[in-house]
Structure 1
């Protein structure tokens, strides 16, 4: 599938020789190509600006193609553009001039500095030295955001047409200091299904049970229930399921140096098992009841 975009390769799809399972994997926040002009505009050094990235998540899920599913990966960094937002969630305080009237300036994500063009990384670390031209923000959306989502839609639609259902796994990582209430106070994984609206309950339960069987502490929806991508593409009644998976970064990366830990390979191998068992579950469940397919 031709999903190239813009002047440089902003993202890519890694395809299996033949797609054999009804899954699409997406890694929208693991990009590591920082445009020089962007770095020149930033207050942050080359390490600090990476703090909000989903480090190496594309590599952790690389086995997806061997299992028979496409993997869409961003090369642009989340600090530059966040495709897990509405197309126009923009903070007017960031821009030199008025924004178009269709822009969503009032979302909680914008208020927190994490809109489509983020204002901060990590814990309130301001990215920019000065305000951006409005045209700069809009051009990133036109050149990268829109082609990225067009590509993702094509992958999902193709999968749905071929198999009668499609399962999107939106792949992310979370800081190691995340805590939740209950027995799994420091989760290794969080599965998000927008509180049951973006994927079938059976699929979410299967994901949780598989992770538990692999020895991980997993929780569901809190504090991460899924972002724009999960919400936008998950339509279970039509056989379109979307799950967000968040991996605790401290499992596989040193959160100070952002270098891979020795455990990286083991985590990647565990995720390969997770993906394979999820595919087996969908095949078995759909074969028995057809409940995951569109009605």
Structure 2
């Protein structure tokens, strides 16, 4: 494996807290170290199927508001998992860092994933024991530290902070499935008024919108979404066929439209947020 890792994300916009909103794309990274590719059992096109392809580019037209985008591919490290969601069976020898089992780990989708796609194994062999700690220290911790810092700066200046965690999804099964899924951990990670505002924005554009089904939010919403202390985190999942050619992993006919609606959503939130009481104490029991 590589001896050192490059910076794990890009950050654009004003970082001084002047905006109450922060936007993140943890799964759109497409950089894969050469040593990782050499160790992988799968070719790059299959590894890239784990990405939220082009979500970072959908957000590229947003100005002012801080936007953080991962650089490394999700198959290398998943920023939307807890740092201890590790499978020791993937590594040679003791890990030297905490590890706990979860349904995601059992499925091969921990912070250092074992599989992509339909259960396809990523690696030819077990990884060195130190590799998990190295990736987490270099990529996972700085990402979540920066998110926490930006949210703290926003809350300090505005009395509240909002994080939009942006993802793409394969088209869900079923008749007339949702095209946009808004996740708030069943009402625990954000103000209901804010969630409703975002739902109405996308529904007003003519898309089918669902809340928490089939995606209610991952580690980011669990860790950063703390409405009791005026930090609101909402996960947004977009059907990737709305904006890209899923076969070739390039922008599709709907790309510009989706990008415009993300830009418009920023303006809708900035205009409405001061009126939503987002700095007021929030009780889950009220849901």
The TM-score bracket by the shorter chain reads: over 0.9
- The Cα shift of 1:294 comes to 4.2
- The Cα shift of 1:13 comes to 1.0
1:85 equivalenced with 2:81 (yes/no): yes
Decide whether the 8 Å contact of 1:240 with 1:294 is kept in 2.
no
**Shift in alpha-carbon separation, 1:145–1:238, aligned structure 2, 3 A:** same
- The Cα shift of 1:101 comes to 6.9
**Residue segments in structure 2 that go unaligned for 5+ positions in a row:** 282-287
- The Cα shift of 1:20 comes to 4.5
1:77-96 Cα offsets, whole Å, 9 max, x none, are 11100111111211122111
Indicate the residue corresponding to 1:280 in structure 2. 271
**Residue segments in structure 1 that go unaligned for 5+ positions in a row:** 1-5
Indicate the residue corresponding to 1:199 in structure 2. 190
- The Cα shift of 1:274 comes to 1.9
Q: Secondary structure at the match of 2:84?
A: coil
Separation (CA, whole Å) in 2 of partners of 1:204 and 1:107:
28
Q: How does 1:75-224 map to 2 (within 5 A)?
A: 75-100=71-96, 102-104=98-100, 106-176=101-171, 178-179=172-173, 185-224=176-215
Pairing partner for 1:267 from 244, 258, 261: 258
Separation (CA, whole Å) in 2 of partners of 1:196 and 1:17:
28
Pairing partner for 1:14 from 12, 15, 19: 12
Indicate the residue corresponding to 1:247 in structure 2. 238
Decide whether the 8 Å contact of 1:79 with 1:118 is kept in 2.
yes
Q: TM-score with structure 1 length normalisation?
A: 0.90
Decide whether the 8 Å contact of 1:19 with 1:69 is kept in 2.
no
Separation (CA, whole Å) in 1 of partners of 2:191 and 2:89:
40
Separation (CA, whole Å) in 2 of partners of 1:159 and 1:101:
32
Separation (CA, whole Å) in 2 of partners of 1:150 and 1:94:
26
| Residues paired across the two proteins, number | 278
Over the aligned positions, Cα root-mean-square deviation in angstroms equals 1.7
Separation (CA, whole Å) in 1 of partners of 2:52 and 2:15:
27
